[in-house]
Amino acid sequence: MKVNRLGIMGGTFDPIHNGHLVAAEMARSEFNLDKVLFIPSGTPPHKNRRDVSAANLRYEMVGLAIKDNPDFDLSALEIERDGLSYTVETLRLLRCAWPEHELYFITGTDALLEIFSWREAEEILTLIQFIGAARPGFDASDFLLKVQKEHPETQGRIHYLEVPALAISSTDIRSRVRHGQPIRYLLPESVRLFIQQHGLYLAEKMPDKTQI
């Protein structure tokens, strides 16, 4: 029987950009994933709520960004759940929904480096494999060696993918909008227009939306 392989793309996506999309597509191709399911965080446990855009806006932006790719899907699992969005709870639900599938959680390597501070990290690592999408020049070898030494059971379950397009970052895009610098071509045009229409990321004193 064919075992389906699913990618779970987790992130705050504030906003989603072309680096995320390239990372998901590269992971799909390199790991032979049948689908990649994007799950925007509802209330990220590690962030100040006031610093993050409303979950429904981030969700809508992801929907716009992936709508022309039949291999990508969107889930409201985390944004519809009350409370903080702990990854372990999401993964338990996904594991129950797809008991036979090989599941891969794709996220930024920077986020993955913090995994042992996440709630029930040890269980997380048994539920799913991980693909860390790294910015160019990022060296994850120390982290991987340390994890494999301290947690031998994770051997072969944490993977690493260099994604040159991850030179693009959400932080930089927000800063660009705030400073009236262009963001065109860093993210899908539909998402750029959404940001403009909703006046996202503008500091009160920098209201010139025409330049983004």
User: Which residues make up the interface to ligand NAP (CB under 6 A)?
Assistant: 9-12, 20, 23, 41, 44-46, 85-87, 106-108, 110-111, 118-119, 133, 166, 169-171
On whether the CB atoms of residues 163 and 135 are closer than 8 A, the answer is yes
For residues 47 and 207, which CB has a smaller minimum distance to ligand NAP in the complex? 47
Structure tokens that stand for 81 in this block? 């759940």
Q: How far is the CB of 1 from ligand NAP (least distance, A)?
A: 30
Taking CA atoms, 109 is separated from 33, 54, 93, in Å, by: 19, 24, 23
Q: How far is the CB of 189 from ligand NAP (least distance, A)?
A: 18
Q: Exposed (0-12), middle (13-18) or buried (19+): which is 91, by Cβ within 10 Å? A: buried
For residues 165 and 202, which CB has a smaller minimum distance to ligand NAP in the complex? 165
Q: How far is the CB of 138 from ligand NAP (least distance, A)?
A: 9
For residues 45 and 180, which CB has a smaller minimum distance to ligand NAP in the complex? 45
Q: How far is the CB of 71 from ligand NAP (least distance, A)?
A: 16
Distance from C-alpha of 128 to C-alpha of 80, rounded to nearest angstrom: 22
For residues 10 and 188, which CB has a smaller minimum distance to ligand NAP in the complex? 10
Q: How far is the CB of 94 from ligand NAP (least distance, A)?
A: 12
Taking CA atoms, 116 is separated from 77, 112, 138, 142, 183, in Å, by: 23, 9, 19, 15, 34
For residues 75 and 202, which CB has a smaller minimum distance to ligand NAP in the complex? 75
**Phi, psi at residue 101, to the nearest 5°?**
-80, 150
